[in-house]
Amino acid sequence: MLPISNGLPKSPLFQIKQTPTAGRAVFATQFLKSGTHLLTTSTIPASILLRPYKREVCAQCFHYNRGRNLPHKSIETGHYFCTLKCSNLWHDEAGEIGIAAWVKVETFVKAKKRPTFHNGEAYENLPDADAPFPTEEDIERSWGEVEGTAHFIRQARAGSTKKPHRRAVAAVLNVHPNADLLCFQLDGTLARAKDAPVGWDSLMELVPDSTPYKRVQELKDHVLSYLHLLCLLPLPLLDLVTPELCLGLTQRDSHNSFGIRSLDDGGDEFFGYGVWPEASFFNHSCRPNVGKRREGRSWVFWVEGDVDVGKELCISYLGGDEAEMSLVERRVMTVGTWGFECGCGTCVEDVMREKGKVLGDTNGVGDLNGFEMVASNGTNGVGNGVHGLNGHG
């Protein structure tokens, strides 16, 4: 059971409490009239704009320039902005050390010209696409195995001129990065380095996914990004770059991130994703009573329909598609993408109805196995993207 700590969002309108079956959840503390504003998020400790969109989506406010390059660019850091104001805000927030880190990573990525994977679909084509998810043991082993190399890199970065130490750096820098992942991990590392009010600590409050890697290759990419960061980042940041940081970030990103999508075409374009900790305590319902939209860099939430005191406040993780979906289709999505069987009122009612039918059909000996098989076989345990990307966004 995850704690109800002081770091969770606070409001006179709602309270975060434990539920018996769906972890923590948000409950109304007073009668809420339809349209009541609930929450506007403040910061994003970790986000990424996918490389193909970087020139067209402002790195600060996520404004989309509809296929045209944005006017303000920082070539060295690889960021583009819609206005000088956005550029200044981004640079102020990154600070000297952040900018130095981005320059190092961007220079490295540009020097490696091979195209990189930038979304979940790319993983589908890899040879081990049908392999099971790496288990907790696989994950622990992979991160453990690399510590020898990491130690050599740290020695080299500390000034050692011994051949094995220098060779370790050269060997790692010789490998092509997964550029988007590397940048996401860098963003998280910089959040860890900062003492922001809604930063790393609030990110760590989120429900972790103990097996967040959907492919063996994905786990390998993450471990490699860790080594790349060790080779590249300015020395004052090195102590922060640890397997715990990289794994902890990925465990929170999975199941909690929101997509960064276009705003004016129903969200057809998927630009990237990010973790907004304040926004990640709403559970999913197939009949949601909370609406959400992205406004620039923030997410805004409001009540849809009057809500009585004590009622749970839920968003949809299915982007509104739930209204058109059957119970099985909804379950395939929630199990496949987020790893949970939806326990919302609508699903419970539907399950009871299905169960009633099965019991009727089989003269009392049937059960829900048929139904449950469809749900689990339909997804084969494979998510819809690397980070629940299509989830909340």
**Under a CB-based contact definition with an 8 Å cutoff, are residues 118 and 180 in contact?**
yes
250 is a site residue for ligand SAM (CB under 6 A): no
Query: Which residues lie below 8 Å from residue 293, measured CB to CB, with a gap of 6+?
Result: 263, 299, 300
Task: Report the nearest approach of ligand SAM to the CB of residue 4 (Å).
Answer: 9
Q: Which of residues 357-386 bind ligand SAM (CB under 6 A)?
A: none
CA–CA dist 31, 232 (Å, integer): 53
DSSP string, 178-236: -HHHHHHHHHHHHHHHS--TTSHHHHHTSPPPSS--SSHHHHHHHHHHHHHHHHHS-GG
Q: Which of 183, 238, 313, 344 binds ligand SAM (CB under 6 A)?
A: 344
Task: Report the nearest approach of ligand SAM to the CB of residue 43 (Å).
Answer: 17
Task: Report the nearest approach of ligand SAM to the CB of residue 3 (Å).
Answer: 10
Q: Which residues pair with 17 in a beta bridge?
A: 25
**Whose Cβ is closer to ligand SAM: residue 230's or residue 315's?**
315
Residues 205-244, mask of contacts with ligand SAM (x by CB under 6 A): --x-------------------------------------
Q: Which of 5, 17, 23, 236 binds ligand SAM (CB under 6 A)?
A: 23
* Stretch of 19-27, 81-89, 116-124, 377-385 contacting ligand SAM, by CB under 6 A: 19-27
Tell me the site size for ligand SAM, rule CB under 6 A.
Answer: 19
What's the full length of the chain, in residues?
393
Task: Report the nearest approach of ligand SAM to the CB of residue 307 (Å).
Answer: 17
Task: Report the nearest approach of ligand SAM to the CB of residue 202 (Å).
Answer: 12
Task: Report the nearest approach of ligand SAM to the CB of residue 200 (Å).
Answer: 17
**Under a CB-based contact definition with an 8 Å cutoff, are residues 12 and 22 in contact?**
no
| Sign of the four-CA dihedral 150, 152, 154, 156 | negative
Query: Which residues lie below 8 Å from residue 313, measured CB to CB, with a gap of 6+?
Result: 14, 25, 26, 27, 28, 32, 38, 282, 289, 290, 303, 307
CA–CA dist 134, 116 (Å, integer): 22
**Whose Cβ is closer to ligand SAM: residue 23's or residue 71's?**
23
Residues 173-212, mask of contacts with ligand SAM (x by CB under 6 A): ----------------------------------x-----
Residues 278-317, mask of contacts with ligand SAM (x by CB under 6 A): --xx-xxx--------------------------------
Query: Which residues lie below 8 Å from residue 179, measured CB to CB, with a gap of 6+?
Result: 51, 109, 112, 116, 118
**Whose Cβ is closer to ligand SAM: residue 192's or residue 255's?**
255
**Exposed, middle or buried by CB within 10 Å (0-12, 13-18, 19+), for 80?**
buried
343 is a site residue for ligand SAM (CB under 6 A): yes
Contact residues toward ligand SAM (CB under 6 A) are 2, 22-25, 207, 255-256, 280-281, 283-285, 338-340, 342-344
